[in-house]
Amino acid sequence: MDFDRLFKNWDDRETFDAGATIFRADDPAEAIYAILSGSVQLFIKDKILGSEDAGGIIGEMAIIDSDTHNLTAVALTPVVVAKLDLDQFKQFIKTQPDFSLHAMAALAQRLRTVDGFISEQMN
Amino acid sequence: MDLLEIFRDSEDLVRFSAGDVIMTEGEEGGLMYVVMEGEVEITLKGKVLATAASGEIVGEMSLINSELRSATVTAKTDCVLALIDDASFKSLLRHVPDFTIHVIDVLADRLQKAFDMIEE
């Protein structure tokens, strides 16, 4: 999905250098991040869970109010993100049906990946 | 969001007895359910991920990504489920934003439970 267009006038952006930590597991999850450019690697307990590129969503645990991140996100390349707090995220979902479907699919995909991780741990 | 109210008059109701397998991990999906009465258990490789009681949804994962079932769902008690097919699901997403938010909340909650399991 074209986040460039969707977040064209979004002021709350943050830029990270390659190698920078975007958030760590157990940090308070205060924002949901929409990746506008670059590539982000996600870690779970020091193991690589996967990566997300432009059009990806990270920090999704902020969707559950006042929770902490479960993953650590590190910029693999220079990264620009748009930050949304929970209210902004919900507003987006209500007004941008394409975004809501995209966010839902992203969340479902993450759940599958994490379930896959759990299955591997059990074997 | 009160799904019981929305599906109160549904004609697509399915009954299961305690112990019945409602869906199996790895199988084709294509349908999801709202629990109208009773309780169901969501398991992964035999380990309980969550239970869903009346008003809650199960089976949404395979409709969202059109992939295979991500977990097994078993009737914990005798239960009645309202069936949502792909067309109804898409229609709800398109026309009822609160339903989309509800599904997203459910997914986030399941994700949290999955992470909690990793911590244990």
Q: What is the ipTM of this complex?
A: 0.88
The encoded tokens of residue B49 equal 């991920």
List chain B residues with CB under 8 Å of A108: 60-61, 64-65, 107
Q: Please tell me the predicted confidence (pLDDT) of residue A66.
A: 59
Distance, in Å, from the CA atom of B107 to the CA atom of B114, rounded to the nearest integer, reads 10
Whether B66 has its CB under 8 Å from any CB of chain A: the answer is: no
- The angle subtended at Cα B57 by Cα A115 and Cα A64, nearest 5°, is 65
Q: Please tell me the predicted confidence (pLDDT) of residue A63.
A: 84
Average pLDDT over residues B90-115: 88
- Average pLDDT value for chain B: 91
> What's B8-60 look like in SS3?
CCCCCEEEECCCCEEECCCCCCCEEEEEEECCEEEEECCEEEEEECCCCEECH
Question: Are B67 and A45 a contacting pair at CB < 8 A?
Answer: no
- Average pLDDT value for chain A: 91
Nearest residue, CB atoms, B100 vs list A93, A112, A115:
A93
Strand order in the sheet with A32-37: A13-16, A79-84, A32-37, A57-58
From A97, which residue of chain B is nearest by alpha-carbon distance? B94
Q: Please tell me the predicted confidence (pLDDT) of residue B53.
A: 95
**Chain A: residues touching B (Cβ < 8 Å):** 44-45, 60-61, 63-64, 67, 70, 90, 93-94, 97, 100-101, 103-105, 107-112, 114-115, 117-119, 121-122
> Number of CB pairs < 8 Å for A and B?
88
* Percent over 90 (pLDDT), chain B: 52
Name which of B95, B91, B93, B82 is nearest B56 in CA terms. B82
Average pLDDT over residues B112-117: 86
Q: pLDDT-derived band of residue A59, with 50, 70 and 90 as boundaries?
A: very high
Whether B65 has its CB under 8 Å from any CB of chain A: the answer is: yes
Q: pLDDT-derived band of residue A95, with 50, 70 and 90 as boundaries?
A: confident
Question: Are A67 and B112 a contacting pair at CB < 8 A?
Answer: yes
Q: State the nearest Cα–Cα gap between A29 and chain B, in angstroms.
A: 12
User: First-to-last CA distance in chain B?
Assistant: 31
Q: Residue A13 pLDDT more than 80?
A: yes
pLDDT in tens, B33-49: 999 999 999 998 888 88
Q: State the nearest Cα–Cα gap between A3 and chain B, in angstroms.
A: 19
Q: State the nearest Cα–Cα gap between A24 and chain B, in angstroms.
A: 14
Q: With b meaning 16 or more CB within 10 Å and e meaning fewer, what string describes A9-42? A: ebeeeeebeeeeebbebeeebebbbbbbebbbbb
* Percent over 70 (pLDDT), chain B: 100
From A123, which residue of chain B is nearest by alpha-carbon distance? B45
Q: pLDDT-derived band of residue A65, with 50, 70 and 90 as boundaries?
A: low
